[in-house]
Amino acid sequence: MKSPLSQRIQFSLAYVLVAAVVLSFLQSWLLAPRTVEIPMSKFLDLLRADKIEKVSLTEREIRGMATTGALPAPPSSATSDRLRQLLGSDDDIRVFTVTRIPGVDEQRLVAELEQRKVEFAGRIETTFWKDLLFGWVIPLAVMVGIWMFLMRRVGGGPTQALSFGRSKHKIYDRKELKTTFNDVAGVDESKAELVEIVDFLKNPKKYQRLGGRIPKGVLLVGTPGTGKTLLARAVAGEADVPFFTLSGSEFVEMFVGVGASRVRDLFEQAKDKAPCIIFIDELDAIGKSRAGNTGFVGGHDEREQTLNQLLAEMDGFDSSKGVIIMAATNRPEVLDQALLRPGRFDRQVVVDKPDIRGREAILRLHARAVVLSPDVQLAVIAQRTPGFAGADLANIVNEAALLAARKEKNAVEMADFEEAIDRVVAGLEKRSRVLSEKERDIVAHHEMGHALVAVSVAHADPVHKVTIIPRGVAALGMTYQLPTEDRFLLTRSEIEDRLAVLLGGRVAEELVYGEASTGAHNDLERATELSRLMIMKYGMSERVGLATFGDSAPMFLKGQRTPWGGEREYSEETARVIDEEVRSILERTYDRVRGILTTKKAVLVNAAAELKRTETLEGDRLKRVLAGEVLETLA
């Protein structure tokens, strides 16, 4: 990596070079004797009047010097005359050029020159200057031009190009940062976790008193627009410390090594200002897993170097100095495992999309700034906007305010909000999914199906949260089960119960609607995989027996998927039996689940309705609906 200084030198050298070339051209043009082009007839006249002193001949032209005053003055431009005077060249024009007529007899011309006693000589036309110009100067100029253009793109301007190895982070002083937790609403769980970080920054001593180590890195994980960036700023604002921020994509430049030097620079500056927060937004831009990486040529190397530098810096500094690194990503699954290791981003804070109450709180927060008409009911707007993130809600309030202003109203009315929602929904539908009423209904029954089966079988992990707030592209809803203890061994009945829970969603849909939707796709995949494992790895099928098949390494217990890419090492016959067994396990489970849910259909329907109302059910309320209680509707 070159230092900024040597780049500066290089850059000014280029300027000097270009300037020198330009100047030398200017000079040779100005200082060259002034010439006039005269026709052949005029030349012959002059020759016969003995007004030619000497000539040199080439194939194409005659160049010569006439006696003083013999030649007509060419049209002159004031500036060039002025320059000439300054440069001290004489005024008189005596040099001329004549274009030779092709095919004219050489002998006669030479004879005539001889006769008139004119000094003459032959000359071979040199192409030296032309060669220099076209072979070197112009290509060089073009290259320098392209280079400068690239620099401009990298740095945003020639001045920044001079320092492009330096970090482009922004530093906010504590005075500039006015964001606090009061500016964030609807993500109370994430906030609660970050309160602790604020306390670390404020009283590091308190936590180190007993030998504890303050966490170095906090990773905010959540879909776009949920307020990750906002939360990071709020932490800095609350802790009253400087805030260094840089987006991951800004690290990765086209020049290998630049990103790494930016990281170094960032940490160096931050260490001087401790306690402080370094915030790396969009961490996935640099933190992408290095395995199986097929970026465009060059991008790979650059990112890897940047990532390595980041890892090295994170390891190299001591969090007791009070520097906490925060980062945000919406794609935690692509991050390199090395980043998530203890001592790096060991704390992860999930920033979820807000539920109905959260949405109302966010709307209320942003509505502070606008004049609301009394007919506006933020709770109703919150109801109408399932799946919206904080940024979408902020957008709705703003759109509504603009719409009302255009209609020259004195306050923003409910009708403006309705229109704003429609607009924002139209925009959202392009980039993510907004569920229709019917779809929400299906998802609610599906998720409650999972949950209800989980509480009905003996060995399933307890359900602690069910939600129909869509997250990411794949999941429309989610049922969270918390294992009560770490599991390294599963008994057969435990696996069977897991299978039952997986099929719960699908069966619930069928029971309520009489047909299935595509929503269970992922469940079925996992159920099939699990039953294959039972047969092929765990010897839990009587027909197939104790033999195991396929690739080794039972990844399932670690919660990872088994790649089914290995060589098949069993007969066609066995393969058929395995397939049949998978089917039969799934069929048996299906019947069992159908039995459970048929007897509890009333509970299922009631629970799904409740889930639709509140979008998220957890804790006590969840327990009560799953036990069949009808809760009073949401206030």
Kindly state the smallest distance separating residue 481's Cβ from ligand ADP, in Å. 27
Q: Residue 134 has what DSSP assignment?
A: I
Q: Indicate the SS3 state at residue 179.
A: coil
Give the pair of three-digit tokens for residue 208.
Answer: 């180190």
Choose from ligand ADP, Mg ion, Zn ion, none: what does 362 bind? Cβ within 5-8 Å by kind.
ligand ADP
Tell me the window of 72-80, 274-282, 463-471, 497-505 that interacts with Zn ion (CB under 5 A). 497-505
Q: CA of 334: how far to CAs of 329, 337, 338, 411, 560, in Å?
A: 10, 9, 12, 46, 15
Six-digit token pair at 168? 């482009």
Give the residue at shortest CB distance from ligand ADP: 390
Angle, CA of 485, 490 and 495, to the nearest 5°: 110
x/- contact string, 371-410, with ligand ADP (CB under 6 A)?
-------------------xx--x----------------
Task: Name the DSSP class of 135.
Answer: I
Residue 155 in the binding site for ligand ADP (CB under 6 A): no
Nearest 5°: phi and psi at 290?
-75, -20
- Least Å from the CB of residue 358 to ligand ADP: 7
Q: Using the rule CB under 5 A, give the single segment among 266-274, 303-311, 503-511, 581-589 that binds Zn ion.
A: 503-511
CB atoms within 10 A of CB 104: 10
β-bridge pairing 463-467 and 616-618: antiparallel
Residue type, 561: R
- Per-residue contact string for residues 201-240; x = within reach of ligand ADP by CB under 6 A: ---------------------x-xxxxxxx----------
With CB under 5 to 8 Å by kind, the binding choice for 171 among ligand ADP, Zn ion, Mg ion, none is none
Sign of the C-alpha dihedral computed for residues 532, 536, 538 and 540 taken in this order: positive
**Minimum distance of ligand ADP from residue 236's CB (angstroms):** 13
To the nearest whole angstrom, how small is the minimum distance from the Cβ of residue 360 to ligand ADP? Answer: 11
Residue 505 interaction partner, one of Mg ion, ligand ADP, Zn ion, none, beta carbon < 5-8 Å per kind: Zn ion
Q: Is 504 in the site for Zn ion (CB under 5 A)?
A: no
CA angle in degrees (0–180, nearest 5) for 350-363-621: 55
Nearest to 242 by CA among 262, 270, 222: 270
Q: Count how many Cα atoms sit within 13 Å of the Cα of residue 173 in the half-sphere of its side chain.
A: 2
Q: Which amino acid is at 239?
A: A
By CB under 6 A, name the one of 38, 197, 234, 328 that touches ligand ADP. Answer: 328
> Which is closer to ligand ADP, CB of 353 or CB of 600?
353
Residue 351's closest CA among 365, 330, 324?
330
Number of H helices, E strands in the chain: 24, 14
Looking from the CA of 360 toward its CB, the CA atoms found within 13 Å total 9
Work out how close the CB of 248 gets to Mg ion at its nearest, in angstroms, rounded to a whole number. Answer: 10
The residue ranges of DSSP E strands in 396-530, in sequence order, are 463-467, 478-481
For residue 324, the partner it binds in ligand ADP, Zn ion, Mg ion, none, with Cβ less than 5 to 8 A by kind, is none
> Which residues form the interface with Mg ion (CB under 5 A)?
229
Stretch that binds Zn ion, among 51-59, 181-189, 518-526, 570-578 (CB under 5 A): 518-526
CA distance 443 to 451: 12
Q: Are 390 and 370 in contact (CB under 8 A)?
A: no
176 a catalytic residue? no
Q: What is the DSSP letter of 234?
A: H
* CB 533, min distance to Zn ion, A: 19
| Site stretch for Zn ion (CB under 5 A), options 37-45, 429-437, 500-508, 608-616 | 500-508
332 binds ligand ADP (CB under 6 A): no
Q: Is 340 or 391 the residue whose CB approaches ligand ADP more closely?
A: 391
Task: Please tell me the distance from the alpha carbon of residue 24 to that of residue 128, in angstroms, as a whole number.
Answer: 15
Active-site residue, from 250, 282, 360, 447? 447
Can you tell me which of 284, 505, 550, 562 binds Zn ion, judged by CB under 5 A? 505
- The answer to the question of residue 523 lying near Zn ion (CB under 5 A) is yes
Site for ligand ADP in 173-202 (CB under 6 A): 184-187
Element (H, E) at 448: helix 437-456
* Shorter beta-carbon distance to Mg ion: residue 233 or 359: 233
Q: Annotated catalytic sites, by residue?
A: 447
The residues binding ligand ADP (CB under 6 A) are 184-187, 222, 224-230, 328, 362, 365, 390-391, 394
